[in-house]
Amino acid sequence: MEVVETRTLGEGWLEISRRILEAGADATYDGQATKELPVVTLTVAEPDPEDELIASLGDADWLDWMRRNFTEPDDVPELGGARSYARRLRDYDGRDQVAWVIERLRADPETRSATITTFQPLDDTSYIPCVSLLDFWITQGRLELVVYAHSLDFGKKAYGNLVELARLLHEVAAAVAVPVGPLLIHAKSAHVYEPELETMRRLTEVAV
Supply the residues annotated as catalytic.
Answer: 130
Residues 131 and 151: their CA atoms lie apart, in Å, by 8
Residues counted in the chain: 208
Q: Is the dihedral of CA 103, 94, 144, 11 positive or negative?
A: negative
Q: Hey, what amino acid is at 179? A: P
Of 9, 18, 8, 1, whose CA–CA distance to 192 is shortest? 18
Cα separations in angstroms, 46 against 12, 151, 159, 166, 181? 11, 23, 15, 9, 7
SS3 161: helix
